[in-house]
Amino acid sequence: MTFEEAKIKLEGEGQEHLLSWYEELNAEEKETLLRQIDELDLGLLNLLGEGTSETEKGVLAPLGALTIEEIQAKKDDFAKTGIAALKKHKVGAVLLAGGQGTRLGFDKPKGMLNVGVHRELYLFEQLICNIMDVVEQTGEWVPLFIMTSEKNNEDTVGFFEEKNYFGYNKEFVFFFVQKMAPSVSYDGKIYMEEKNRISTSPNGNGGWFISLANAGLLDTIEKLGVEWLNVFAVDNVLQKIADPIFVGAVLENDCVCGAKVVAKADPNERVGVLCLEDGKPSIVEYYEMTDEIIHSRDKDGKLLYNYGVILNYLFRVDVLKKIMSENLPTHIVEKKIPYMNENGEYVKPQELNGYKFETLVLDMIHMMDNCLSFEVVREKEFAPIKNATGVDSLESARELMTKNGIEI
Ligand code: UTP
């Protein structure tokens, strides 16, 4: 793209400030900037004008879960089926580690956080430790796909190398890099990061399968015979990965996908709830539900919309391939976005200062014909590290780790 072409593209959208420093740049820097402008999806900015990116929800209905008691009763059967599948490498794990963890405010990739107290224990290390439980049970490595972003790929891969993959077999670890999207100020102006670089951030965790495919990993999946992918977040230290009982339950129930859920701590808990929307499984955010729905109960007094998701899903690969080309909704998310100000200084804001555009893995659930809602014990499987202090923080996660007998 030439300077003139870039100017025309930007002027149409009121984004010509991206070229303010152009004259100061050397030839290589100019090229970098023009390439970024060329690749820029300005269509995303129209979503801001619409006020919100959230689409209207359809008709909601409750979706029960396979409860802890029900799972307990069939545990051995489920485990047997799950282990058999895992022994044949039919299940791969996908670690979503492309996020920026802005709420936590940790400078490095979140997985590099030391969650130990009396010893070094990194978040990545603990996740590998969790997956090793399954490797020990089955005697086979679980193929592990790790999604990073342009911003943290080098650090993440370097860390795994430095730590010798925490004892995991590196032949079964596959990194891939997700896509980026521009970040904008509240008035819709795209931020700059450097004089020759537009501010971009990872475009959400919804594009994980496309990014995996674009990285050429579908061949690997086929070669290994992987038929299911267990997608999970980097920041839940108690995450059970490729859990044979979960896998077995989804398989035995003939479902195309499964989601681990926890019973809500109280009706107003701010979690996405797995339910039905227009007859299909769907995850509906707490702010998308009316008070009436939130508080509705069955005849035994149990909440009808009771099960919150914990970002641990199992998807069938052939179904993922089919829906790959369908668009997921784009969410506009308020974040703290570091940027370069008009004096050319780099600013790291303390407060929210703009929007990022993200697609979310939870929206993939609505593309599935069915989804097994699989209840787990919150205190045993859910210790997310989202915030620096308080709820869902390193502190609360450490407490739960200790309760679960993990030496920290
Ligand atoms: P979060 O929704 O907590 O987002 O991600 P985040 O970016 O990590 O953190 P905040 O909101 O800025 O504080 C849930 C999971 O999805 C991954 C994260 O790494 C985490 O495992 N994720 C998120 C991606 O892989 N890519 C993204 O673009 C966003």
What is the C-alpha separation between 247 and 80, in angstroms, rounded?
10
For residue 91, list its beta bridge partners.
228
CA angle 104, 108, 111 (to 5 degrees): 75
What is the C-alpha separation between 378 and 310, in angstroms, rounded?
9
Distance 80 CA to ligand 1 centre (A): 33
What pLDDT is stored for residue 287 in this prediction?
A: 86
Establish how many alpha carbons lie within 13 A of residue 246's alpha carbon, considering only the half-sphere containing its beta carbon. Answer: 28
What pLDDT is stored for residue 259 in this prediction?
A: 98
Taking the CB of residue 181, how many other CB atoms lie within 10 A of it? Answer: 20
Q: Whose CA is nearest to atom 7 of ligand 1?
A: 99
What is the C-alpha separation between 239 and 385, in angstroms, rounded?
11
- Is 327 exposed, middle or buried (CB count within 10 Å of its CB: 0-12, 13-18, 19+)? exposed
Ligand 1 binding pocket (C-beta < 6 A) is 96-104, 147, 178, 202-205, 233-235, 311, 335, 358, 386
Atom of ligand 1 nearest to the CA of 208: 25
Distance 299 CA to ligand 1 centre (A): 38
Tokens matching residue 164: 């010798």
Q: Find tokens 């999207």 and name the residue.
A: 181
Q: Are 354 and 337 in contact (CB under 8 A)?
A: yes
Q: Whose CA is nearest to atom 1 of ligand 1?
A: 99
**Any idea how long the chain is?**
408
Q: Whose CA is nearest to atom 9 of ligand 1?
A: 101
What pLDDT is stored for residue 376 in this prediction?
A: 98
Q: Whose CA is nearest to atom 25 of ligand 1?
A: 98
Residue 271 carries which side chain, given as an amino acid letter? Answer: V
Distance 235 CA to ligand 1 centre (A): 9
Distance 362 CA to ligand 1 centre (A): 12
> How many angstroms separate the Cα of 44 from the Cα of each of 56, 196, 355?
19, 21, 11
Residue 78 region, left (φ>0) first, then alpha (ψ -120 to 50), else beta?
alpha
Distance 96 CA to ligand 1 centre (A): 7
Q: Are 373 and 69 in contact (CB under 8 A)?
A: no
Q: Whose CA is nearest to atom 28 of ligand 1?
A: 204
Q: Whose CA is nearest to atom 23 of ligand 1?
A: 99
What pLDDT is stored for residue 56 in this prediction?
A: 79
What is the C-alpha separation between 297 and 301, in angstroms, rounded?
5
Distance 204 CA to ligand 1 centre (A): 7
Q: Which residues are within 8 A (CB) of 12 and not within 5 positions of it... i.e. 6 or more apart?
A: 42
Distance 147 CA to ligand 1 centre (A): 11
Q: Whole-model pTM?
A: 0.96
Distance 104 CA to ligand 1 centre (A): 11
Atom of ligand 1 nearest to the CA of 202: 28
Distance 302 CA to ligand 1 centre (A): 32
Q: Whose CA is nearest to atom 22 of ligand 1?
A: 99
Q: If the chain, 408 residues long, is cut into consecutive pieces of 10 residues, what is the mean pLDDT of each piece?
A: 95 94 96 95 86 73 96 98 98 97 94 97 98 98 98 98 98 97 95 96 96 98 98 98 98 98 93 96 92 94 96 98 93 93 93 95 97 98 96 96 96
Atom of ligand 1 nearest to the CA of 97: 19
Smallest CA-to-CA distance from 147 within 13, 281, 311, 373 is with 311
